[in-house]
Structure 1
Amino acid sequence: MAKGWTHGMDMSGVSWNDSRTATLITPRHVVMAKHYSRGPAAPVIFHDRSGKRIERKLIAFQPALGDITVGLIDEPVPPNYTPYPLPASSTKISTLPGRRVVVSDKDKNLFIHKIRLVGPGQITFEQDEEDLYGWGKNLISGDSGNPSFLISGNKLVLIETHTTGGPGSGPYYGDANVQASIRRAVSKLDSNYTISTVSIP
């Protein structure tokens, strides 16, 4: 809803009503940091691009690989709220270091960082010190679970949720094993839905 440089970025699938941020990956499934998750019956509030508010409740949970919990909300969200695709597991991780990402925090702020390193199941960012944007942050306690995105065309692709502070580090959502664990968790919670992926050139 912001009118500045973030206006083109669709955050309707991110629930910020609690510092333990939840992010949509299907119309009924969210991901959170395993070490900083909301509890049963916790409200999950989303706002669409025009500011329309909806509220859902968390009713079930399944762990995924690493610092990821997949949660199930009581009703699917309508089409004007966006579940985010994940990077296709075929993405060549050698092409990712140096690419810019949109990093979020618990205060609904967005920053531009760069990918420093991608390893098995994990991704680490760095400040974009060479660039003129100046939009960076050292993440702090309470930012855990907030999402980071790659921009692919006109889509935001969920690439990470924060585990540690500093420039940020957490599970890499394009990792084949991480992704398979998320698919299993989604299916156990409600097999009518599945995650989507996007090929990253």
Structure 2
Amino acid sequence: MLHVLHLPVNSSCDVAILILEHATKVTTPTYTVFEDHFYNAAIHGIDDLLLKANASGATLDEQKKIFSVQDHNHKHYVRSSKCWAHTLDLTAISPWNSLGHTRKAGTLISPRHALWARHYSINVNTTLRFVDKNNNVVDRRIVKTNSVPTHGHAFLRGYDIVIGELDQDVPASISFAKVLPRNLTTIRPGRVYIPVFDTDFEEKALVADFSYESSNMVSLRTPLHSSIRYQYFETKIVGDSGNPVFLVLDGEIVLLFVLTYGGSGSGTSITHHYDAINNIMKQSGTGYQMTEVDLTKYLATGSQIPSIIG
């Protein structure tokens, strides 16, 4: 039968694992130091915030809303202090654009570049809007777009990315999302349930479970119904395409992909196209490249970031 157990991986942290028990024999997976620390940072990065918000007295609807006020016509926004993700810097996420309005989301990957889904693309001369932590609005115009090369493949199968260049840098009050290291190309956590943070076209802060990253795709899964995460999960629907999906590591959002498919959610791996994206950014002449999140803190002494975990 199936059990959800919290098995101690080391003296400082637990990992939630789904174990298949046959008779009285239980097999405990073995994790490397890096996997142990990385998984637990990702788990606590979101779960701790959910638990705190859940105990705050705010309604579930209030806990999901990134903004308590979104008046796009008058450029008036108020970030909600009741949102479970309120303490995270979410200024890289655009809540509005002049083409799709609340649809066709874009996410900054540098002060001058945003990324979105090719099948739900945003045109040149469209205005992308960003809102800083103090609710000040910053608008920028898209001046150039480039899709990652498909090499003859259907772009919906792992090539669903467009890079847009803005007319000028956003100010320092607007952040950009970091990404995973270039060489970490495969993540298969298996029986470890790692949460991710994603948004929808209503600008809600939602949660799903990471399933895998392999080759050019990343896939999510629905959280266990008994998990607190399930309260913050919503099925991806029409209009959500292009919205970003993040890990949260030590209080920092790390961009994994933008949504292509509905259900639990899946899309094109940014890590798989790391070089292609950087090449597009290089051609713009701005000097910007994507920024890797520092995962060396999770390594054993003398070790390097692996290419495959799980």
TM bucket, shorter chain: over 0.9
Gaps of 5+ in 2: 1-78, 150-158, 299-310
Other-structure match for 1:13: 92
The alignment partner of 1:180 has SS state of helix
Residue 155 (structure 1) aligns with = 252
Match of 1:127 in 2: 222
- Partner Cα distance (1:137, 1:94) in 2: 23
8 Å contact 2:188–2:213 — kept in the other structure? no
Corresponding residue to 2:293 among 181, 192, 198:
198
1:102: how far off?
A: 0.2
Higher share of residues assigned helix:
2
One-letter amino acid of the counterpart of residue 128, structure 1: P
Which of 24, 37, 44 lines up with 2:121 in the alignment?
37
What TM-score does the superposition give when structure 2 sets the normalisation length? 0.61
Over alpha carbons, which structure has the higher Rg? 2
Unaligned residue ranges in structure 1 (runs of 5+): none
Partner of 1:50: 134
> How many Å separate the matches in 2 of 1:84 and 1:139?
22
Percentage of pairs with the same residue:
23
Moved over 4 A (4+): none
Determine the structure 2 residue equivalent to 1:77.
Answer: 170
Counterpart of 1:107, as a letter, is E
For residues 103 and 111 of structure 1, the distance between their equivalents in structure 2, rounded to whole angstroms, comes to: 5
Cα RMSD, aligned residues only: 1.5
Residue 2, structure 1, aligned to residue 2, structure 2: no
Q: CA deviation at 1:101?
A: 0.4
Q: Hey, what's the Cα distance between the residues in 2 that align with 1:6 and 1:83?
A: 16
- For normalisation by structure 1, the TM-score amounts to 0.93
Q: Residue 41 of structure 2 corresponds to which residue in structure 1?
A: none
Kindly indicate whether the alpha-carbon contact (under 8 Å) linking 1:159 and 1:172 is maintained by their aligned counterparts in 2. yes
Higher relative contact order (CA 8 A, sep 6+): 1
Question: Once the 2 structures are TM-superposed, how far is the Cα of residue 85 of structure 1 from its aligned partner?
Answer: 0.6
What is the distance in 2 between the residues matched to 1:96 and 1:148? 17
